Chains A and B, each alone.
Chain A
Amino acid sequence: MSKTIIIIGAGLAGLSAALQAAENGCNVKLVSPFPSERAQSVMAEGGINAALNTKDENDSPEEHFTDTIKAACGLADPNAVWGMTQAAPELVHWLLKLGVQFNMSGYDDVDLRNFGGQKKKRTAFAQSDTGKQIMTAMIDAVRRKEGAGMVERFSHHSFLTLRLCGSVCCGCVIRDEYSQEIVELPGDAVIVASGGMHGLFGNTTGSLSNTGEVTAELFRLGVPLANGEMIQYHPTTVECGGKRMLISEAARGEGGRLFALRNNQPWYFMEEKYPELGNLMPRDITAREIWKVSHESEVFLDMTEISKEVISNKLSGLADDCMTYLHKDIRKEPVPVLPGIHYFMGGILVDEQHRTSIQNLYAAGECCAQYHGANRLGGNSLLGALYGGRVAAKSACEQADGVVLSCAAQIDIPPVQEIVGTKQLNQAMQDSLGVVRNGNSLLKGIRKVQDLKGTLPLLGLAVLQSAFARKESRGAHWREDYPECNNRDFLKTTVARFDGKQIQISFMPVPERR
């Protein structure tokens, strides 16, 4: 009998896992509260990194590896990153065969653009809505498996908790959000691909449906959280309808320039301070520089020098968004920007094979901590989701051991939580975990969040305590009370674990390169 793999989340990582598991002959149950078209992956704009070397720049997967590890400030698993960067060119070619409408150059070369933290053109893209275009082709491919009866979708269903047999996972419990019916799903393995912890903050660039509740429930059950404090601020975002709207890094990749006003003159502070990469420094550094300068002057992103052809062929979505939401024509005027929370490098602790601490439970995509360490390169999130989903599914299909058939499952459904307190949680998280942090503000946040009840505040507390324990500055985690990077004590993964009573923080060595 073929194995049943349950996948929680139908964004890019979930679809990638579903395709791989179906390819391996497993039955897939794909659970998501919304259809794939609503997933946060469709919001990814700039592109996907792969050393395709179509621009005669002598690029290689090895250089992609080096840039990723460097941006991660040593916290990413080098073996996992090696696997991802080696696989990237093949993955992009595979996407082309699935029908992704990448921008092309010449006869049949995939066009590549510059992206932050990388000197060579390495980011494949479809205008400025790469995520949407990749998702459409992936949805079409999964639909084929649905047609063949290998993938069954549970749309409008949310994850409630795991089905456990002792300490082994044997499925999960889900709820139909339309009828409120609770459904028990036995399975040989569960792959969680539920997205980042955006709901802890409420005002990120991410989707409002990426609440972090699945991660929070797993954390309550004892699954460790890794590098929770590593939260990426995207350098260029704008307030929009109570959350942040992203202005893609592609804007700078195609020639957009950051400036502030000094004596009423434009001051191109990034170009002045970082002559080599200028506006395309990695996101952690660019966000911090903007944050610093923003205390003196408003900061602007100037796209007026980008040619009309480039805007209409490569950035049309971005131009439309600025017109609709900011009433700005990027061809004619600069746009005021500020850093905003964009991506969670940290998340569920997984190993190179995407295994969590619970047998038969895997995690992939933004919900897990893999590939990005202390700071993620733009263009590596779509790649990490696609590749990670594949690896997780391969591991699950190989390793799932059929415990599900023989066990009597225990289920511990958490009590239904009142929504009271989300505002206080969001406010405390925002106040304590800014672009720059310090011990006092983190302690204040810890005190406030400690008093709130529920799994989401528990997860918030784990993130705050992780940030408090990392008494150094590295990547996205910048402590003004500990401004130095301390490799002796902290070139390590932060691990937060809940033992049923309290949260323990420890530091674990990063795996060595084989």
Chain B
Amino acid sequence: MVYKVRIRRQENQKSDSYWQEFEFGGSENSSIAAVLNELNSRSPLTDACGNTAAPIGWECGCMVRKCGACAMLINGLPRLACSTFLNMLKSSTVTLEPLSKFPLVRDLIVDRSFLFENLKKLNLWLESEAYMIEFTHEPRYQSARCLMCGCCLEVCPNFSSKGTFAGAIAAVNGFRILNEEQEISHRNEVSTHYKENYFEGCGKSLACHNICPIGLPVEELIVRSNSVAIWGRQ
């Protein structure tokens, strides 16, 4: 089967965006990342109308769902290109767009610096040695798996890169710190920031349900973080 790959292109933040279509005749088992690599290895790269096209800008690293670089909108949903396969899609047209909640850099590349700045604003670090109790090992392990890809923020109705709301990423990553910190003043500090920058901004839409590309238990971690930071349960 020949797939049509429609890509939203934009040379830089100031230029206009446009759609460009490519054809891909490789295996249906290919991931979107493999498709993009294959397109970019063509020389020259030509679009479906035969016009020469510039290489497609996108970020990737591990190709196996461990680094979170390749998050993009695939047929309208935020996913990782490396773990979304052609045969999982419902049509033979693949639409690729950059994540919309972050400033655009080029083509499918967006600037996600904001995510990392937010964790800093929340003071997400330990001041004490980690308190590691076996009882919460599993949720702490899950918390530490977060790829910081931004998929859960893309679907969130409350998140915008212009506001102060840090989104589900704050609750997911917050849990291990809230759970492990032994210095009460720092835990209180994190809790205060958590309340301001996460809890009070979350509309409880649960749009982040079932969107994490590595299947993190996002709601469980929200519940657990709320429990410590808001309801004061240790």
Contacts and interface: CB of A to CB of B under 8 A. Distances in A.
**Most A Cβ at <10 Å: residue of B61, B112, B140, B146:** B61
A34 B61 contact: yes
Nearest to A243: B63
A241 B82 contact: yes
A144 interface: yes
A42 B125 contact: no
B120 interface: yes
A97 B129 contact: yes
Contacts of A453: none
B196 interface: no
Given A37-B148, A38-B69, A208-B60, A126 B83 contact: no
A28 B137 CA distance: 33
Contacts of A178: 105, 111
A35 B116 contact: yes
B83 A324 contact: yes
A183 interface: no
A132 B61 CA distance: 14
Contact of A147 (B68, B120, B148, B176): B120
Contact of B62 (A43, A140, A141, A156): A43
B31 interface: yes
Contacts of A97: 129-130
A43 B63 CA distance: 10
Interface in B82-101: 82-83
Nearest to A143: B125
Interface residues of B, number: 49
Contacts of A351: none
Interface string A155-178: 110000000000000000000001
Contacts of A127: 141
A154 to B, nearest CB: 11
A133 B67 contact: no
B64 A133 contact: no
Contacts of A324: 65, 83
B82 to A, nearest CB: 7
B130 A99 contact: yes
Interface in B44-62: 55, 59-62
A133 B146 CA distance: 10
A241 B127 contact: no
Contacts of A209: 60-61, 69
A104 B134 contact: yes
Contacts of B141: 101, 126-127, 133
Given A99-B130, A140-B177, A156 B113 contact: yes
Nearest to A155: B113
A155 B63 CA distance: 21
Given A207-B61, A209-B61, A98 B120 contact: no
Contacts of A147: 120, 123, 125
Contact of A140 (B41, B64, B125, B145): B125
Interface string A124-160: 0011010011001100110110110000010110000
B151 to A, nearest CB: 13
Contacts of A136: 144-146, 176
A423 interface: yes
B180 A99 contact: yes
B147 A37 contact: yes
A43 B64 contact: yes
B64 A96 contact: no
A289 interface: no
B164 interface: no
Contacts of B124: 140, 143
Contacts of A208: 60-63
A67 interface: no
A321 B144 contact: no
Interface stretch (B32-40, B154-162, B200-208, B224-232): B32-40
A370 interface: no
A500 interface: no
A99 B143 CA distance: 11
Contacts of B30: 241
Contacts of A143: 119-120, 124-125
A155 B127 contact: no
Contacts of B65: 321, 324
B211 interface: no
A411 interface: no
A245 B33 CA distance: 14
B83 to A, nearest CB: 6
A132 B113 CA distance: 20
A126 B123 CA distance: 25
B63 A240 contact: yes
A267 interface: no
A137 B61 contact: no
Contacts of B61: 34, 38-40, 207-209
Contact of B64 (A38, A156, A240): A240
A274 interface: no
A402 to B, nearest CB: 30
A134 to B, nearest CB: 9
A63 to B, nearest CB: 28
**Most A Cβ at <10 Å: residue of B64, B123, B147:** B64
B56 to A, nearest CB: 13
Contacts of A101: 132, 137, 140-141, 144
A96 B132 contact: yes
Contacts of A99: 126, 130, 132, 140, 144, 176, 180
A117 to B, nearest CB: 25
Given A40-B61, A42-B62, A127-B141, A35 B127 contact: no
**Most A Cβ at <10 Å: residue of B123, B125, B130:** B125
Contacts of B62: 38, 40, 42-43, 207-208
A327 to B, nearest CB: 8
Interface in A457-501: none
Interface in A342-370: none
21 contacts: A35-B148, A38-B68, A40-B62, A99-B126, A99-B140, A99-B144, A99-B176, A99-B180, A104-B137, A127-B141, A129-B66, A133-B145, A136-B146, A137-B130, A143-B124, A147-B120, A155-B113, A208-B62, A241-B37, A245-B63, A321-B65
9 nearest interchain CB pairs? Answer: A99-B130, A241-B34, A144-B125, A136-B144, A101-B141, A97-B129, A207-B61, A38-B67, A37-B148
Given A37-B147, A101-B141, A325-B64, 6 more contacts: A34-B69, A39-B61, A43-B62, A99-B132, A327-B29, A423-B41
